[in-house]
A and B are shown apart, each in its own frame.
Chain A
Amino acid sequence: MNLTNENEGQEKKLERWLDAALSHYIDDEPRGGLEGRVLATLEAERRQREQHRRPWRLVVAAGVAMVLAAAVIVLVPWRSTQPPVDKTSASNATVEESGAQVRSQAQPPLVAAMNMLVRASRTLRSKPAW
């Protein structure tokens, strides 16, 4: 009985020691100005990401310019090879049909170039901020 009481007493004392020791386990404090140092690091990281983003924007802008230039290069010679509209035709309907035919045939390259421009600008807008 005495041994049991002694053991229980020892256990309780060790429990109290554990409580006290665990409550002091993280007594260490960081050096002053921790928040400022962290914010400075985050700001540096943000600037670095911004610098990495700029070249990509230039690449996309250059790509868009090339697409437009290609569209112009394709369109201008193509238009110059089209037969002129027959203006001496007696029928207005025929002239209108010819004009419509020329316009519909002229559209695809220009429409294709515009579509490429729209897609490129959407790609530029969809790039993440970070």
Chain B
Amino acid sequence: MTFSQAIAEAQQVDEVELLVREYARFVYRVAYSVLRNTQDAEDAVQETFLRVIRHSAELPEVRSRQAWLARIAWRVAVDRQRQLAVQPLPADEQAVARLRDALPGAEQQLIDAQMISLLQRLISSLPSDLRDVITLSTVEEMSGREIAEILGISEAGVRGKLFRARQVMRERLQGLMGGGV
């Protein structure tokens, strides 16, 4: 290795380390939104930054590192999800009953693991284009523009799909509860 190559490599190492320290948890949240499992999400974080190293020459040309990392993390998580066996979601009759009984009250207090499981089932049942948008929207650092960039659609498309996804989930919830709220 020549001296200049060694310098360039050292600089790339520093840049990647900075990315890890600044964005590892963000990448974890993107991966977790898809994989819904701590260990799988951490494995996806590792794989994401390994890919970053392999493409570190592109770093100087990247406009938004957060969006770039989110795109890599998203692809890693989706690929991994396909490889993993599909875990059946717990039955949600109890969650629906609780929601029906308690909805007139404080909605915020209802959000526990059982309710999150119900939400996960609702999201899983969506068509893939709506599911992808609503999943990425749960990562609070993600902007509509970044979601659009990752999915290759327009920002208006993101807004439209978000609206439609929520509409479908609401209708399905109403159907589950039998309109008895």
Known contacts A34-B25, A42-B50: does B17 contact A22 (CB below 8 Å)? no
Q: Which residue of B lies closest to A40 (CB)?
A: B46
Q: Is A1 an interface residue (CB 8 A)?
A: no
Query: B103, A26: Cβ atoms under 8 Å?
Result: no
CB distance from B30 to the nearest CB of A (A): 9
CB distance from B63 to the nearest CB of A (A): 23
Query: A38, B1: Cβ atoms under 8 Å?
Result: no
Known contacts A13-B107, A24-B111, A129-B8: does B49 contact A38 (CB below 8 Å)? yes
CB distance from B121 to the nearest CB of A (A): 11
Q: Which residue of B lies closest to A127 (CB)?
A: B1
Q: Which residues of A contact B110 (CB under 8 A)?
A: 17, 20-21
Number of B interface residues in the complex (CB < 8 A) = 52
Number of inter-chain CB pairs below 8 Å: 114
Cα-based distance from A34 to B22 in the complex (angstroms) = 11
Known contacts A13-B104, A35-B24: does B32 contact A26 (CB below 8 Å)? yes
Query: A25, B20: Cβ atoms under 8 Å?
Result: no
Query: B116, A24: Cβ atoms under 8 Å?
Result: yes
Query: B108, A20: Cβ atoms under 8 Å?
Result: yes
Tell me the dominant secondary structure on chain A's binding face: helix
Query: B116, A25: Cβ atoms under 8 Å?
Result: yes
Known contacts A10-B181, A129-B5: does B49 contact A42 (CB below 8 Å)? yes
Residues of B within 8 A of A (CB): 1-2, 5-6, 8-9, 12-13, 16-17, 20-21, 24-25, 28-29, 32-33, 38, 41-42, 45-46, 49-50, 53-54, 56, 99, 103-104, 107-108, 110-111, 115-116, 118-120, 134, 137-140, 166, 169-170, 173-174, 179, 181
A–B Cβ pairs within 8 angstroms, 15 of them? A13-B103, A13-B107, A18-B166, A18-B170, A19-B107, A20-B110, A21-B119, A22-B119, A25-B119, A34-B42, A34-B45, A37-B42, A42-B49, A42-B50, A125-B2
Which A-B residue pairs are the 4 nearest by beta carbons? Answer: A25-B138, A129-B9, A17-B107, A21-B119
Residues of A within 8 A of B (CB): 7, 10-11, 13-31, 34-35, 37-39, 41-42, 45-46, 125, 129-130
6 more A-B residue pairs beyond the given contacts A7-B179, A28-B38, with a C-beta to C-beta distance below 8 A: A11-B170, A17-B110, A25-B120, A38-B45, A38-B46, A129-B8
